[in-house]
Chain A
């Protein structure tokens, strides 16, 4: 189960981040992770579930 997609945090305000997914931007709830601007996060169903490295797909 679970489509999760990687995106980069552009802005972070309280628990909500603006995340960039290869050019498409969306608000994402960050209450489940400890993340900062510039981090790459895995997003599932509108929530970031993990901070990941840029090349996480290859590891």
Chain B
């Protein structure tokens, strides 16, 4: 039986996706099938689906996240997004007003980023057969510089483009009665392209957070990654909410930043305000965290993150 942990970006999801891929058989000439996007020559292609968790949150909504998510997947692959498709399935009874609000949100992003929605689909299910709405976006891009997750090399520095865990903190703050925290939901396109020539690999730490992203890079590149806890930027209110709810900040999602590896950290930190060097790549394996007093391993997150108090 498929359960919620299969969708939460951790180990169980990886295993299931491997199984599905195996049955779909080889993608022929297409490369990067297990990266953030697939590419053939300089055509890059990716897709993502989004469900209501919640629909509207401080800093965005399901529409904004749906298009930024796909624009970001293309961008961290090193491709300039050209166009998007938009598939919407609504549950019967969904308010038209809310639907149009979401569409307006999508439109704003597309206009600002210069990436149009050129094709789409719309369906309605009977009440009770879907939780409000499901949005799928697919994106096509033109490769500028391939940034595979396998591109990290010993000696590289690891940079994060902004404070981590912000999106999870925003959702949890809303759910547990804290004053609003804004999600970082947004496009990384312009920021990543301003420094792309200096980057070897990049990833957006969405589901599973920085822990999942760095483990992915570490595995695909066959390297060891060491992060210095004191260098990791996180907003104090976001950290407070996550710590109070017993949720691991490294496994918490961001929706508007990227992590990358580079041989030229100074150039990147100079150009990208809010970015920081958080660690380095070494030979070996695994992802480790240097804390104020010791060292521990950062594992790929497993299962749902349920807040705890004990």
Contact = CB atoms under 8 A, between A and B. Distances in A.
A and B touch in the complex (CB under 8 A): yes
Contact of A24 (B179, B246, B309, B310): B179
A24 B177 contact: no
Given A3-B310, A5-B243, A43-B244, 15 more contacts: A2-B309, A2-B310, A3-B243, A3-B244, A5-B244, A21-B237, A21-B240, A22-B236, A22-B239, A23-B235, A24-B173, A24-B178, A24-B240, A26-B177, A44-B309
A23 B236 contact: yes
Contacts of B211: none
Most A CB atoms within 10 A — which of B236, B243, B244, B309? B244
A45 interface: yes
Give the 9 A-B CB pairs with smallest separation, nearest first.
A23-B237, A22-B236, A25-B179, A21-B240, A24-B237, A22-B240, A5-B244, A1-B310, A45-B309
Interface of A: 1-3, 5, 7, 21-27, 43-45
A44 B245 CA distance: 10
B249 interface: no
Contacts of B239: 22
Contacts of B176: 26
Chain B interface bracket (under 10, 10 to 19, 20 to 34, 35 or more): 10 to 19
A2 B239 CA distance: 17
Contacts of B243: 3, 5
A52 B240 CA distance: 17
A26 B246 contact: no
A1 B246 CA distance: 11
B188 interface: no
A27 B244 CA distance: 14
Helix, strand, loop or mixed for chain A's interface? strand
B148 interface: no
Interface of B: 173, 176-179, 181, 235-241, 243-244, 246, 308-310
A3 B246 contact: yes
A25 B177 CA distance: 9
A9 B309 CA distance: 21
A4 B176 CA distance: 16
A5 B240 contact: yes
26 contacts: A1-B310, A2-B309, A2-B310, A3-B308, A3-B310, A5-B240, A5-B244, A7-B240, A21-B237, A21-B240, A21-B244, A22-B236, A22-B237, A22-B240, A23-B236, A23-B240, A24-B173, A24-B179, A24-B237, A24-B240, A24-B241, A25-B178, A26-B176, A26-B177, A27-B177, A45-B309
A1 B307 CA distance: 14
A27 B310 CA distance: 20
B124 to A, nearest CB: 39
Contacts of A25: 178-179
A52 to B, nearest CB: 15
A32 to B, nearest CB: 15
Contacts of A2: 309-310
Nearest to A2: B310
A46 to B, nearest CB: 9
Contacts of A44: 309
Contacts of A26: 176-179
Nearest to B176: A26
